[in-house]
Amino acid sequence: MATQKQSRRRRLNMTERAEEQMKIQFPDYPGDLLWKRSRNHGFSTIPRTLPLAMQAIDAQTKGQPAGHVLLCLWIRAPDHPLLTIDSPNVFATEAGFEGERAVDTWRRRMRSLRDLGFIETKEGSTGDFHYVLLLNPNIGVEKLQRQGKTQTSFYGRFRDRLIDIGAERDIQDYDEYLERQELERASMAKTAAKKTAKADDDTPVKQKRSKPKAAAK
């Protein structure tokens, strides 16, 4: 499995390769018309598997696809998983919803994202979705797979993409997290059982009072 250093080196090689191909395929294309992260402002860091996550989401929200809403959240995120939504109307409009019920439609999509495990939310001054926590979409897709909600062909493409970008470790980290959670639950149950047993041992036994014998006549 590629380490972070190896993955970084591979990304640099991909950039260099693209530069060489650019010289051959588009040698005289004006640079002023191109967008480059090192020069232009206004960019966001998003997972490369996000298009696949959007497909999985849309497959589960047919008729009310919510994948594009997740993309808009990631684009607006301040390079941090926590996002504060001060104007739901802006987010609804950017997601493509218009009219009087635009925000209501957007909120329904947000509920779908939360139910599917791609975001967590907390209530605030602008409603139920004032604070939004963006969860790892790779884990979100993995959860859907384990619930039997993705097709085999799609999941194969998803795992191949994880390998391509060096993100296969995300699934291993998730499995290790689940193991830790299980161990913690088992430990808590064991501790609770011990406390219950000790409480039972410490409970004083109520002595039965014997009835006085009747006096002989």
Q: What is the CATH number of domain 48-187?
A: 1.10.10.10
Residue 184 confidence (pLDDT):
94
Euclidean distance between CA atoms 181 and 170, whole angstroms: 17
Q: Pick the more confident residue, 7 or 157.
A: 157
Strand boundaries in 96-139, DSSP class E: 119-124, 127-134
Residue 199 confidence (pLDDT):
74
pLDDT at 205 over 80: no
Q: Where are the domains of the chain?
A: 48-187
pTM (global) more than 0.85: no
pLDDT at 208 over 90: no
Contact 84, 98 (CB under 8 A): no
Tens digits of residue pLDDT in 44-87: 999 999 999 999 999 999 999 999 999 999 999 999 999 999 99
